[in-house]
Amino acid sequence: MKNFFLKSIMIISIMIFMSGFTSRAAGVNDYGTLKVSGRYLTSSKTGEHITLHGVSTHGINWDVGYPYISKDAFSTLKEDYGVNAIRLAMYTTEYFGYCDKAGAGETQESVRKTLKDRIDTGVKAASELDMYVIIDWHVLNDQNPNKYKKEAKSFFKEMSEKYSSYDNVLYEICNEPNGGTSWSDISKYANEIIPVIRNNAPDAVVIVGTPTWSQDVDVAADSPLSFDNVMYTLHFYAATHKDSYRDKLKKSIDKGLPVMVTEYGLSEASGNGNIDTSEALKWLDLLDENGISYFAWSLSNKDESSALLKAGNSKKSGWSDSDLSKAGKWVFSQYQKRAGMSGVEAPGKVMGLKVKNSKGKKIAAKWNAVSDADGYQITYSTNSKFKKSKKKTVLNTSVILKKLKKKKTYYVKLRAYKNAGTGKKFGKYSAVKRIKIKK
């Protein structure tokens, strides 16, 4: 009887511990739709408190942002660096802005269509890769979100209708209110926008900006909105925002506010200037300790210190360390470490890849086993540089590639992987094989 009592106490203790457990989300298939429980982002499927370690695009309005909206780019982020979520930052003003196109030569309606098409590409790419995705209404120079509230209502009505059946879409309704915009102003806006989203996506997580460039989460904590499944943004740039800003976060945590860092950088607040990895480490440790999700700014090759890629780098996916900026190397190494990918040695290079035509517009591929591999990833494309490539993961040493195009030449390459935490550690690619589909 005594042993039974002790075992019961142990089980209850474990259950209490697990109810507060925070796990890094592996993917949508594992965790399903997200919801807000207390101050935590929570899986509707397992009930676990989870965190997202994400990356934000730069403005998808411009050529430093939209070229990286692709399945190949997102796949590189996920598979090589342990990223599990994407934020699509769509500026509402400035050149090619959704609400004010400024000097863009296209009509405003044409600009809007282009931006919505880019969002659709991003949402679908993230969905195919089992990643979460934020659609971000990027208020900045317009300062007060109420300025374009009518346009925001129309936009979020359309987005929430279109993606109502998607388990992985979150909505960020105002990026960085500023210029004296008060929490009262933001609350007024949110109280009108959130019901528009709720009409179509009643359980979707909605993320609301806070005053002073989304830094005053402590102000929001004093008077949170009355809706369920709402989180509040905190943005920081490590070389500028230090202890006093972490104190704001701690105050909001103490009051139970659900916070998400939808944008952070290692640089100064301008997005440029010095990088401070020491302060950034303090931030990420604090966020992980408290189960708070975060998104690095930005997936771009812009000539500024917050960009994750080197200025002018032409590669749109498949980056190596030499393609990353100083900030990118640090951010991605941290993500790998926090995903449990560090310390795992990459498997050996795949040798002996052979491909041949198979009946019905198919390719039969086989290769030699790599002794320390958990599986293999085969990549194929009609482009020799593997643009718009397709990837398939297999556990054995052969595969049939199907639904190929007749009389097209395909390029095929392969790499082995080891399972590492919530991600995979990949080895080097095999030699590329070239084959033409005969029939």
User: Domains in the chain, start-ordered, CATH in brackets?
Assistant: 21-338 (3.20.20.80), 354-436 (2.60.40.10)
In tens, the pLDDT along 37-63 reads 999 999 999 999 999 999 999 999 999
What is the predicted pLDDT for the residue at 6?
40
Bridge-based pairing of strands 259-265 and 294-299 is parallel
What is the predicted pLDDT for the residue at 343?
83
What is the predicted pLDDT for the residue at 421?
83
Residue 232 pairs in a beta bridge with 208, 259
What is the predicted pLDDT for the residue at 1?
41
Locate the DSSP E strands across 246-404: 259-265, 294-299, 354-358, 362-366, 375-381, 390-394, 398-401
What number of residues does the chain have? 439
Query: Which of 309, 281, 279 is closest to 297 using CA atoms?
Result: 309
Bridge-based pairing of strands 259-265 and 132-138 is unpaired
Residue listed under structure tokens 């109420």: 146
Bridge-based pairing of strands 390-394 and 354-358 is unpaired
H-helix or E-strand spanning residue 79: helix 71-81
Residue type for position 14:
I
From the CA atom positions of the chain, what is the Rg in Å?
Answer: 23
What is the predicted pLDDT for the residue at 300?
98
What is the predicted pLDDT for the residue at 342?
86
Contacts of 344 (CB under 8 A, 6+ apart): 418, 420, 421, 425
* H-helix segments, 231-276: 243-254
In tens, the pLDDT along 294-314 reads 999 999 999 999 999 999 999
Helix orientation angle between 71-81 and 326-338, rounded to the nearest 10 degrees: 60
Helix orientation angle between 326-338 and 277-289, rounded to the nearest 10 degrees: 30
CA separation (Å) from 145 to 6, 27, 104, 161, 385? 56, 32, 22, 21, 43
What residues act catalytically? 176, 263
Distance CA 351, CA 366 (A): 10
Q: Which two tokens stand for residue 296?
A: 């690095």
Bridge-based pairing of strands 409-420 and 375-381 is antiparallel
Distance CA 17, CA 40 (A): 15
CA dihedral sign of residues 23, 26, 29, 35: positive
In tens, the pLDDT along 54-105 reads 999 999 999 999 999 999 999 999 999 999 999 999 999 999 999 999 999 9
Low-confidence ranges of the chain (pLDDT < 70): 1-21
